[in-house]
């Protein structure tokens, strides 16, 4: 799957980082930063959960 | 404002609905969710508003920019008499802002609450909790854990965050404690509120002259860089908001969490054996108690359809996070407390752009308190029966007034 993030929409709740720190991080401003824009295998359900619980709607995925 | 004839208003359920049991959701929430998930209720000032009880609808409204969080807007549900008058006298809190204004204000503070920054605060929070427990161990038993742990930990933590670590520290702690003590009179509350404003004004002036490693100093530096001057009123509002938002709610969750573990030894054993399970338990405690059910009011800025019902421009809306967190469509067997549930999609911290700024700090605080308390006082037990505990059935934020313990 392909992951996208919108830094202008992010409100820095950090829910994605708590869900999957291997994929999501926060930059110095506290705004979402992707460590990778692709996820495979067991990471995929984690990424889907991060997208679902993100309060600001800053994250999205496109399934391959 | 939702326009109804007086006869219809008279027949509506009243809000807020008090809890009658620490664990059960009021029956009317469950009934409305099943029968009429977008229904009308009437506030204590007589205003009819929409009440949302489904997880899906609550999330939809709280993340939709067509619903405003402006507590001064006509139609916004008033939780307490005098709320609007009180708020109109001070600069706007971030929780009342919408859209671009809110994003800009929140942008300036989120770096102080990022996951990484909060993790860096671990040693400070740990020390603070250890100091409280040191004092508790020297006290005659029984000890009230609300007074000695649940209230001091968030107060001391806030003092650290805003850099109130100078000579007036004891005065500040005393003000904050009296602010939420239930026996404090209305008149005294006004004095405390004036005292706090003055305290933060002095603190801001001090940080302008001698910056430290704290939120206020960082905001001052940020504002000077951005505008060349310091918005003292705005900073005072921010400091007060951090206090209001972080104090009573954290204290409530500490007290309810400790009570939950002490009365359910099997769960206590679980986190004692494996502290990695504490964060999972914390999420379930947050979901299960949903102490700040009344926080999520909104007012519609357009006609919007929610759950098949049209909410009109200017209508007030209450998105019940308590009802949402007990929705069987989102949480199987929702009324059962299962500390190993592992569901992180609850809305106890709200949802949408206003979702609690301090949520990760709150998680850290709860984890450290539970792990440290039960490790350091392994024989801790309740001093009174649950039936005799003073739960905060009459307060806007659910919790405990006292929690006497022995060991």
Contacts of B362 in chain A (CB under 8 A): none
Interface check B107 vs A, CB under 8 A:
yes
Residue B197 lies in a domain: no
**pLDDT exceeds cutoff 80 at B184:** no
Place A50 in a pLDDT band, splitting at 50, 70 and 90.
Answer: very high
DSSP element (H, E) containing B306: strand B304-306
Token pair 């850290």: residue: B364
Residue A23 lies in a domain: yes
Residue B220 lies in a domain: no
Nearest CB neighbour to A11, from listed B106, B116, B118: B106
Based on DSSP, count helices (H) and strands (E) in chain B, helices before strands.
18, 10
Report how far residue B112's alpha carbon sits from residue B120's, in angstroms, rounded to the nearest whole number: 11
Contacts of A11 in chain B (CB under 8 A): 103, 106, 110, 353, 355
Which pLDDT tens digit goes with each residue over B8-60?
888 999 988 889 999 999 999 999 999 999 999 999 888 999 999 999 999 99
Q: Is the ipTM of this complex over 0.90?
A: yes
Domain count for chain A, please give it.
Answer: 1
Contacts of A55 in chain B (CB under 8 A): 63, 350-353, 355
Residue B207 lies in a domain: no
Residue A62 lies in a domain: no
- CA atoms B241, B247, B253, B256: torsion sign: negative
In sequence order, the 6+-apart residues with CB closer than 8 A to the CB of B93 are B71, B87, B237, B240, B241
Q: What CATH number should be reported for the domain holding residue B367?
A: 1.10.630.10
Residue numbers of the domain that contains A36: 2-57
Residue numbers of the domain that contains B338: 6-151+247-406
Residue A17 lies in a domain: yes
Nearest CB neighbour to B63, from listed A31, A49, A55: A55
3-state secondary structure of B12: coil
Residue A64 lies in a domain: no
Which pLDDT tens digit goes with each residue over B216-246?
999 999 999 988 999 999 899 889 888 888 8
DSSP lists the bridge partners of residue A5 as A59
Average pLDDT over every residue of B139-150:
96
Q: What CATH number should be reported for the domain holding residue A12?
A: 3.30.70.20
Place B182 in a pLDDT band, splitting at 50, 70 and 90.
Answer: low
Position B5 scores a pLDDT of: 86
pTM of the model: 0.95
């Amino acid at each position: 799957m392909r992951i996208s993030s919108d830094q202008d929409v992010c409100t820095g709740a950090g829910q994605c980082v708590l869900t999957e720190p291997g994929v999501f991080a926060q930059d110095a401003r506290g705004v979402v930063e992707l460590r990778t824009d692709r996820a495979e295998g067991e990471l995929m359900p984690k990424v889907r959960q991060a997208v679902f619980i993100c309060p600001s709607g800053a994250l999205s995925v496109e399934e391959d | 404002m939702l326009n109804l004839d007086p006869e219809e208003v008279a027949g509506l359920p009243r809000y807020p609905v008090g809890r009658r049991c620490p664990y059960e959701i009021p029956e009317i929430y469950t009934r409305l969710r099943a029968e009429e998930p977008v229904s009308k209720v009437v506030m204590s000032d007589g205003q009819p508003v929409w009440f949302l009880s489904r997880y899906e609808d609550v999330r939809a409204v709280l993340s939709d920019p067509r619903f405003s969080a402006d507590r001064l807007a006509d139609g916004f549900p008033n939780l307490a008499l005098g709320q609007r008058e009180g708020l109109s006298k001070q600069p706007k809190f971030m929780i009342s802002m919408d859209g671009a204004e809110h994003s800009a204000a929140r942008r300036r503070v989120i770096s102080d609450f990022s996951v990484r920054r909060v993790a860096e605060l671990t040693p400070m929070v740990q020390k603070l909790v250890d100091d409280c427990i040191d004092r508790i161990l020297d006290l005659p038993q029984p000890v009230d854990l609300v007074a000695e742990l649940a209230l001091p930990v968030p107060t001391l933590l806030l003092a650290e965050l805003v850099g109130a670590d100078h000579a007036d520290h004891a005065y500040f702690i005393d003000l904050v404690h009296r602010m939420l003590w239930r026996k404090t009179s209305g008149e005294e509350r006004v004095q405390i509120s004036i005292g706090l404003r003055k305290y933060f004004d002095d603190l801001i002036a001090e940080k302008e002259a001698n910056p430290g490693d704290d939120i206020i100093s960082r905001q001052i530096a940020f504002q000077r860089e951005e505008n060349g001057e310091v918005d003292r009123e705005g900073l005072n509002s921010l400091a007060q908001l951090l206090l209001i938002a972080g104090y009573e709610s954290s204290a409530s969750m500490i007290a309810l969490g400790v009570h939950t573990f002490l009365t359910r030894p099997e769960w206590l054993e679980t986190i004692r054996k494996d502290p990695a399970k504490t964060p999972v338990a914390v999420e379930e405690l947050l979901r299960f108690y949903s102490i700040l059910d009344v926080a999520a009011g909104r007012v519609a800025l357009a006609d919007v359809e929610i759950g098949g019902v049209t909410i009109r421009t200017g209508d007030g809306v209450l998105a019940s996070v308590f009802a949402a967190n007990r929705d069987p469509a989102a949480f199987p067997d929702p009324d059962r407390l299962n500390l190993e549930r592992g569901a992180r999609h609850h809305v106890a911290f709200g949802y949408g752009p206003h979702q609690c700024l301090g949520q990760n700090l709150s998680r850290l605080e709860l984890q450290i308190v539970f792990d440290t308390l039960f490790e350091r006082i392994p024989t801790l037990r309740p001093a009174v029966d649950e039936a005799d505990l003073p739960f905060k059935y009459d307060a806007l934020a659910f919790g405990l007034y006292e929690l006497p313990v022995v060991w």
